[in-house]
Amino acid sequence: MASTFGHLFRITTWGESHGGGVGVVVDGCPPRLKLSAADIQPDLDRRRPGQSKIVTPRKESDTVHIVSGISENGLTLGTPISMWVRNEDQRSEAYNEMKDKFRPSHADFTYFAKYGIRAWQGGGRASARETVGRVAAGAIAKKILREKFGVEVLAYVKQVQKIIGAVNPETVKLKEVESNIVRCPDAQAAAKMIRLIEKMRAEGNTVGGIIEGVAHGVPAGWGEPVFDKLEADLAKAMLSLPACKGFESGDGFGGILLTGREHNDLIRAKAGKVFTTTNRSGGIQGGISNGETVSFRTAFKPVATVMHEQDTVDESFHNTTLKGRGRHDPCVLPRAVPMVEAMTALVLVDHALRQRAQCG
Amino acid sequence: MASTFGHLFRITTWGESHGGGVGVVVDGCPPRLKLSAADIQPDLDRRRPGQSKIVTPRKESDTVHIVSGISENGLTLGTPISMWVRNEDQRSEAYNEMKDKFRPSHADFTYFAKYGIRAWQGGGRASARETVGRVAAGAIAKKILREKFGVEVLAYVKQVQKIIGAVNPETVKLKEVESNIVRCPDAQAAAKMIRLIEKMRAEGNTVGGIIEGVAHGVPAGWGEPVFDKLEADLAKAMLSLPACKGFESGDGFGGILLTGREHNDLIRAKAGKVFTTTNRSGGIQGGISNGETVSFRTAFKPVATVMHEQDTVDESFHNTTLKGRGRHDPCVLPRAVPMVEAMTALVLVDHALRQRAQCG
Amino acid sequence: MASTFGHLFRITTWGESHGGGVGVVVDGCPPRLKLSAADIQPDLDRRRPGQSKIVTPRKESDTVHIVSGISENGLTLGTPISMWVRNEDQRSEAYNEMKDKFRPSHADFTYFAKYGIRAWQGGGRASARETVGRVAAGAIAKKILREKFGVEVLAYVKQVQKIIGAVNPETVKLKEVESNIVRCPDAQAAAKMIRLIEKMRAEGNTVGGIIEGVAHGVPAGWGEPVFDKLEADLAKAMLSLPACKGFESGDGFGGILLTGREHNDLIRAKAGKVFTTTNRSGGIQGGISNGETVSFRTAFKPVATVMHEQDTVDESFHNTTLKGRGRHDPCVLPRAVPMVEAMTALVLVDHALRQRAQCG
Amino acid sequence: MASTFGHLFRITTWGESHGGGVGVVVDGCPPRLKLSAADIQPDLDRRRPGQSKIVTPRKESDTVHIVSGISENGLTLGTPISMWVRNEDQRSEAYNEMKDKFRPSHADFTYFAKYGIRAWQGGGRASARETVGRVAAGAIAKKILREKFGVEVLAYVKQVQKIIGAVNPETVKLKEVESNIVRCPDAQAAAKMIRLIEKMRAEGNTVGGIIEGVAHGVPAGWGEPVFDKLEADLAKAMLSLPACKGFESGDGFGGILLTGREHNDLIRAKAGKVFTTTNRSGGIQGGISNGETVSFRTAFKPVATVMHEQDTVDESFHNTTLKGRGRHDPCVLPRAVPMVEAMTALVLVDHALRQRAQCG
């Protein structure tokens, strides 16, 4: 069940980094939505390797094929939409040494411990390549949210190691995010981030950082008590992404330095519309959206593959060392931005449908 | 579906802060486990109001009644275990003013926006009282983990506002946690925390903080790629708790300040046993446990109910003010510790059973 | 997970025939529905032991207590509705001999084989007493279907052993069903059925039969391809009832004697409304309702408890014999009618909400 | 969610009769199972059009491609297995008339009523072509059951219209089933069935019948009270198949003619092994297997496509007529045999894993 996500808008991803490809089945999509590859490819291109000098140079066109679920005149049928992306640039030889050595802080050892077997080429299912299916499905979710519910989902790089961008989550636009290759809307910070990532690559080292996600236009009332709170489902969605190690909603960890009097978002009404004068809650109270901008932050650890010899063990549990080879990202954040957007949109569209189901 | 949690060890909670009581149905519990109220009451007592001078003085005995699922000789039957706790000390009058005003940063407005109706007395389903069922179910999960899998789950207060305790997650023991009323194993920090909380209560104000959760003895191999990663399920579990606004696994947000070379947990083997020389991953890699101590941190915001007049609106969406009344916690953390343990145990036992199902 | 049923309108039942009681948690109920015990008790009374001379004389008032989920002015809150019925008339001594003997064609042996333990008094969880929770939840589902969707769910006894009632599924009314104690709307057949059941009781023997279920007013479009077809979910719902061993939708097994030309339901339209000239499909085509009356039949086997010595084995797997004792139904059908209605309503309301979610 | 089936061994099917193909994702498969296309193709060949003179002559090679989830040395990785079969022989022109007419007793109208759109070529998702994915997944399930649990799943044609085969469910073998093209192990009955089907085809008419399913070697203890009874899950599985309109477990509808004394399966033990002297329960009591042969019967209605003019309406809801064209099965039963086996195996393997999870 672990490769399926969502209750009403439900996706099932499949595929390894090496093998026939990766894909996703989207079930529960509302019918009669205009949909073609052109709606999906742009987000895949934002996730694609080789898109800029600061990501892995691995060459994958990542062209999406929609294999089912669309009528001859380009409308969703309401039945499962199957999408498939071929694996193209596989160089197993780069992974030969990993055949019987576990890469530190990768999932090699844990998959082996769990299953007694692992796809050693490229990380198998733990590879970020698995997220192709999520991003493709997320593009559909974003389209539904935009067209049917007036909701715009967006993510951007907020921080790379110690470099922090100044971004206003209430007003940030896609155009600003896409204005540079690191996807940080603060141009000055972006320039520094890019330099840092290039330096890291040159040193065979890696860095992590923070991606902020926002959703503009979410109406009050999405999210379900008590276990499927909006922020609970967002947290799960984010922590299910490769390399993600932290999630905070609204003020999150920072909020604990304030007292209750300081932290509360006071409520006002104007012309019959309720709003809060601050948004420390990140648009969610009691697990349900309150009509303000939904915002959260996620921590992505530095990429585990470094081009330096590191201590590890082999499959016979003997001590050895391993040095990263192959073509890797010195920082996952630029490519993780569309992944964060996709997972956000998948959570939101599912809750939009759930709200419509129960409350009409 | 939102009041049900878990796939194989599955709980369903019910009940509001005011009304006949609160409870839980536990489905999928392994049969022939010795179980009685004595296994469950201690954790309910740790969660109970009125347990110390720094929590709400509301008087609830929170006595658990096991109504089904146990044989006459005290063994689990494998069928649903229904548990029920009566509501005793309800003073609706304390909530009269809230009948048509929304408390800021509470779920009053969002429930109203979602359902068009709300249980205004005491927060209804959004009340921390709902967690009675989780803690009761969690006590069973903890017992199974301890007796059948050798896993010990523990949580403790790590930080209250700016006061940080020094605690070693690898070695911390329940006895240390329970050695003071704030549940911080660092006695000096605990004393400061207690003073701060008392000061806050005197000022009609509140504070938040951080609870750290650990699980000792988790074998390598628990957690499922790709959506039901162990840390994804833990994140959801935590963010589903009232007032929780953040989750980080292992180093989490702090880890992004390191480079990959610094952050990686190197692997060694000794006498056929694999281990890592550091544990920045918090015992989880690729979403699967690696045999090290599972550890994570959660942020709980300051309690929203403050004894001061604050701006808000009424149910007719007119501007007004509201001042907190009644008996409330100046800080939820001491009582949230058993909630964090419960949710951790529920996630782990579910994954233990899932691992047994798929991999034997 | 096996004690939970439904996706959006979701129920979880708990409780054994002996012990503190039986109950149900209903999650996902639409908010602001007027609801009180008076809506639920009538169906429980139709299910109740001791209601007539042809059912078990066991005395249970089966009074429902709604413990959560209702506002002070009697409206559903949208949160879980917990309902509870006390066990009253328990005479464990009647079951003493069963303590270590398995009743033939009961679930005694299979529960023991599965769990290594069983609640020997009264069949434990396999007892028809478990259906109290279903019937209570079903009463809510029926009310929603009636008030919000104009759908009327009804069941009746169609056949007892060889005695077949003549009933028109298109026009049958509750009043006719309730006009006699066996719940067969054909008065003449009903009289014969009652005589047969009384004879069976006198002989310490039992009989089974067929219950027909219908739903009037189901709009076209409910049911989901491909696994959650309306008739697939109805089949599961029925076969999950104690003693139910068969299900057929529309013509079912009888339909196979016809050719395609004879069997097809021809389609006509009149004043913009589509209908079929026959209804051999039972209102369902391709798993989706077509706007005609939904109708199906279910087979209930003769009650396994007979007052005669029968071959069996004990818990040590030695051959022995066992004679039924205690107060039992000579025929479950009269009491199973509200169970069939409840399960039908639960399936339909779930699909009503699912249809609203996906297709608006 | 409706295209996903199973809890632990979970399949998701996708694809229409016309379009890029059909496929399935199998999630939760135990790791390290030897698996290749050679394990799957034989069952697809049994399901394939064009396999004999009594099925549709449509030409599809139905060659399976395993795209993920298998290691380079041919073992399952424990991760999703994606399988894909291309659509080859599509002749949309045969369906031109159906573009705006609904075929009687097909799902054309109900899909249109549900989704407001439909894939009119070949029935879209309601086509039996969707079962390709089920049969492929079922082949894996059958292999696991055989190799890991000693369970053999089998189905065969028991009845075509009024022609009934004499088959002993306890001893029937695959070889006998496959000894003729109608898949009825009774050679004499089979010959009559084949003649009848040929006659029907010649007349442009169709027939239905009964398929019996059996599972040999199921240990006592599979199936879960109360909603996921083994026969409830089997019933749902069968009724989810195209054209299936009935299910009965063991004696089913026939059993109601017996009294309890006659119907009960008496229990005996021999050398520590418990068995029943009859098997009217079909190997299931209280929803849990009892160690006897699991057996059930399913009714498949006559194929709705007949080569005769029949009354229907068009998409504008005007009365019209329609005559079947194209290449169709005069009787689905021979090809439905592997579908019944697949669904049976999927239910059983899921319960095998669930039993291992809860009871060890």
Beta bridge mates, C336: none
Structural domains present in chain D: 4-359 (3.60.150.10)
CB contact under 8 A, C259 and D205: yes
CB contact under 8 A, A245 and B265: no
* Alpha carbon distances (Å) from A132 to A7, A43, A87, D297: 20, 9, 11, 43
Compute the count of residue pairs across chains A and C with CB atoms less than 8 Å apart: 40
For an interface test with C, give the residue of A140, A147, A358, A359 to mutate (most C CBs within 10 A). Answer: A358
Q: Report residue A97's pLDDT band, with 50, 70 and 90 as the boundaries.
A: confident
Give the mutation candidate from C201, C236, C315 for the D interface (greatest D CB count, under 10 A).
C236
Which residues in C lie closer than 8 A to residue A31 (C-beta atoms)?
Answer: 358-359
The residue-averaged pLDDT of D49-65 equals 92
Distance between CA A51 and CA A59 in Å, rounded? 9
**pLDDT number for residue D290:** 98
Q: Which residue from C205, C227, C245 is facing D250, i.e. has the nearest CB? A: C245
- At C188, phi and psi to the nearest 5? -65, -45
In B, minimum Cα distance to D354 occurs at B357
Binary contact (B80, C3; C-beta < 8 A): yes
> Does D358 reach chain B within 8 Å, measured CB to CB?
yes
CB of D291 within 8 Å of a chain C CB? The answer is yes
CB contact under 8 A, D358 and B79: no
CA A66 – CA A47 distance, rounded (Å): 18
pLDDT score, position A92: 64
C118/B77 CB distance under 8 A = yes
Between these two residues, D207 and B122, which has the higher pLDDT value? Answer: D207
Contact D239 C260 (CB under 8 A): no
To test the contact with chain D by mutation, choose from A79, A127, A350 the residue with the greatest count of D C-beta atoms within 10 A, namely A79
Name the closest residue on chain A to residue B299, using Cα atoms: A253
pLDDT < 50: residue spans in chain B: none
Instruction: Express each pLDDT in A131-168 by its tens digit.
Output: 999 999 999 999 999 999 999 999 999 999 999 999 99
Helices D37-47, D131-149: inter-axial angle, 10-degree rounding: 130
**Tens digits of per-residue pLDDT, D137-149?**
999 999 999 999 9
Count, residues in chain A: 360
CA A260 → CA B105, B304, D318, distances in Å?
9, 6, 66
Report the gap between the CA of A40 and the closest CA in chain B (Å): 21
Name chain C's partners: 3 or more CB pairs within 8 A: A, B, D
To the nearest whole angstrom, how far is the Cα of A57 from the nearest Cα of chain D?
24
pLDDT value of residue B94: 67
**pLDDT score, position D99:** 86
Among D79, D81, D118, select the one facing A124 at the smallest CB separation: D79
Q: What is the pLDDT, as a whole number, of residue B185?
A: 98
Average pLDDT, chain C: 95
**Which of A247, A290, A311 is opposite residue B246, by nearest beta carbon?**
A247
What is the model's pLDDT at position D304? Answer: 95
| Angle of the A131-149 helix axis to the A333-359 helix axis, nearest 10 | 50
Q: Are strands C284-285 and C244-249 parallel, antiparallel or unpaired?
A: unpaired
Residue environment code for A140-150, b if the CB has 16+ CB neighbours within 10 A, otherwise e = bbbbbbeeebe
C175 Cβ under 8 Å from any chain D Cβ = no
Task: Determine the 3-state secondary structure of A173 from DSSP.
Answer: coil
Cβ-Cβ contacts under 8 Å, A269 against chain B: 313, 317-319
| CA C137 – CA C10 distance, rounded (Å) | 9
Q: Which two tokens stand for residue B172?
A: 């911390």
Q: Across the B/C interface, how many CB contacts are shorter than 8 Å?
A: 148
Sequence-ordered list of residues with C-beta below 8 angstroms from that of D240, at least 6 positions apart, any chain: C226, C227, C228, C229, C232, C287, D5, D343
The answer for C122, left when phi > 0, alpha when psi is -120 to 50, beta otherwise, is left
Extract the tokens encoding C179. Answer: 């006009």
Instruction: Let me know: does A106 contact D54? Beta carbons within 8 Å.
Output: no
Cα–Cα distances in angstroms (integers) from residue D101 to residues A158, B247, D130, in the given order: 56, 56, 22
Structural Rg of chain A based on CA atoms: 21
pLDDT in the model for residue A59: 83
- By the CB < 8 Å criterion, does D184 face chain C? no
When pLDDT is averaged across residues D3-16 and rounded to a whole number, the result is 97
From the CA of C351, how many Å to the nearest CA of chain A? Answer: 10
Q: Minimal Cα distance from B8: which residue of C?
A: C1
D228 and chain B: CB distance < 8 Å anywhere? no
Q: Is B2 on the interface with C (CB under 8 A)?
A: yes
Distance from CA of C246 to the nearest CA of B (A): 25
Closest residue on chain C to D320 (Cα): C268
- D160: phi then psi, degrees, rounded to nearest 5: -120, 120
Say how many CB pairs under 8 Å bridge B and D: 40
Query: How confident is the model over A217-228, as pLDDT tens digits?
Result: 999 999 999 999
Distance CA B93, CA B116 (A): 22
Name subunits touching B (3+ CB pairs < 8 A).
A, C, D
Best CA proximity match to D152, nearest among D344, D350, D355: D344
Q: Which of B27, A357, B32, A64 is nearest to D226 (CA)?
A: B27
3-state secondary structure B141-192: HHHHHHHHHCCEEEEEEEEECCEECCCCCCCCCHHHHCCCCCCCCCHHHHHH
If we measure between CA atoms, which residue out of D246, D253, D163 comes closest to residue D207?
D163
Answer whether A316 touches C (CB < 8 Å).
no
- Which residues in chain A have Cβ-Cβ distances shorter than 8 Å to D8? 1
**Which amino acid belongs to residue B134?**
R
Give the gap in angstroms from C-alpha C74 to the nearest C-alpha of chain D.
30
**Reported confidence tier of residue D94, pLDDT bands at 50, 70, 90:** low
Reduced to 3 states (helix: H, G, I; strand: E, B; else coil), residue B285 is: strand
Residue A124 has pLDDT above 90, yes or no: no
Predicted complex ipTM: 0.98
- Which residue does chain B place closest to A246, by CA atoms? B248
Shortest Cα distance from B120 to chain C (angstroms)? 9
Mean pLDDT per 10-residue run, chain C (360 residues)?
94 91 97 98 96 90 95 95 89 76 95 93 86 98 98 98 98 98 98 98 97 98 97 98 98 97 97 96 98 98 96 96 88 98 98 97
Contact residues, A window 18-77, toward B, CB-based 8 Å cutoff: none
* Angle, helix A333-359 to helix A230-239, in steps of 10 degrees: 150
Of the candidates A22, A32, A66, the beta carbon closest to that of D117 is on A32
pLDDT of residue B92: 64
CA distance to partner chain A, nearest, from residue C253 (Å): 30
